[in-house]
Each structure stands twice: as C-alpha cells, then as structure tokens.
Amino acid sequence: MPMSTIVRGRTKLEESGLFMLREVIPQQEAVKVKKSRIFALAFGFLALLTGGVLIGLGLLVAVLLPYPLIAGCGFILTGFGVSCVIPMIFSMAGRSEGMSSGSAIAAVSTVGYLGFLIVPPLVGSVAQLAGLRNAFAMMAAFGILITILVQFMFDEPRPLGGTA
C-alpha cells in the first residue's frame, strides 16, 4: 500500500488538495481583494502625495542651494519622488474603469514618451530665456502641483496633511 491512505478513490493528499482548491483559496482571494482595494486607496494617495513633495523639495533644494553635493542630494530626492509617482500612475491606469487596462496603460505610456520628447527642449528654452535655476524652479512647481492635484483624484476630499 502507498504511503498515503486511499479515501473514496483518491489519496489523502489529493483530498487535501481538493479541499484547499474548493474551500480555503476562494476565501483567501476574497479577503485579498478587499485588502488590496483598501491598500490601493490609502497607499496610492500617500505615494502620490509623497512623490510630489519629494519631487518639489528635491528640485527646490537644487535651485536654492546650488552647491554640487547638496544639489546632487536634491536630485536624489527628486529621483525618489519620481519612483513613487510613476508606478502608481501605471497601476491606476491599469485599474481604470473607463478603458481596458491595456489601452489605459498604452495611453499613459504614450503621454510619458511625449513628455520625454517635449520637456527637455522646454526646460532648455526656459533656461536660455530665464536661467537654469528658474527652469528647475518651474519643474519644482510642477512637482508641488502633483500634491495639489492628488487631492482631486480620490473620491472623498482629504487635507494636505494626510488622511482624514
């Protein structure tokens, strides 16, 4: 006789596997879906808010303290901010209700590539007209604008200080 006991024509291992598939996993998935919605709302808001603050703060540090080491730290802060915002934007596009997830992500990608083509010449033009510090100040203002626009993206209004 094999190591596992035969129950109703199936081994005990097969029975326990069927029990997992029928009973345990569907309950775990239901809990997981509820948790992921709460997580996405709470941390999506916080990630976008934090990202906008880091982008604005990092570029303001580079503008106001133009020493190489300190400006480099400001650019590192800006990189941390962008790394918070970009994944959340793609995640939100994938969950959008108005379009299919593939179309929404393609639209966001297109706008992103368009930004890569438009922003460098725009910053260069502003830098040529008003100076590089003013061009970075303009980008810092756009980073801070993210924190303001995040307030309008979610259903219930929240204060800038956090959750309410």
Task: Output the six-digit token pair for 65.
Answer: 């303290």
Question: Once rounded to an integer, what is the mean pLDDT over residues 19-43?
Answer: 57
Identify the band that residue 19 occupies on the pLDDT scale cut at 50, 70 and 90. Answer: low
Task: Give 131-159 pLDDT, tens digit per residue.
Answer: 999 999 999 998 888 888 887 876 554 44
Residues near 20 by beta carbon (within 8 Å), at least 6 away in sequence = none
Angle of helix 132-153 relative to helix 101-130, nearest 10 degrees, comes to 150
Residue 54 has pLDDT above 50, yes or no: yes
Task: Output the six-digit token pair for 70.
Answer: 């300190």
Q: What is the pLDDT of residue 84?
A: 80
Cα–Cα distance, 60 to 44 (Å, whole number): 24
Q: What is the pLDDT of residue 3?
A: 47
Question: Once rounded to an integer, what is the mean pLDDT over residues 50-60?
Answer: 91
Identify the band that residue 1 occupies on the pLDDT scale cut at 50, 70 and 90. Answer: very low
Identify the band that residue 92 occupies on the pLDDT scale cut at 50, 70 and 90. Answer: confident
Residue by residue, DSSP assigns 96-146 as: -SSS-HHHHHHHHHHHHHHHHHHHHHHHHHHHHHH-HHHHHHHHHHHHHHH
Q: Which residue shows structure tokens 């962008």?
A: 82
Kindly report whether the global pTM for this prediction surpasses the value 0.95: no
Q: What is the pLDDT of residue 135?
A: 93
Give the DSSP letter of residue 161.
Answer: T
Identify the band that residue 16 occupies on the pLDDT scale cut at 50, 70 and 90. Answer: low
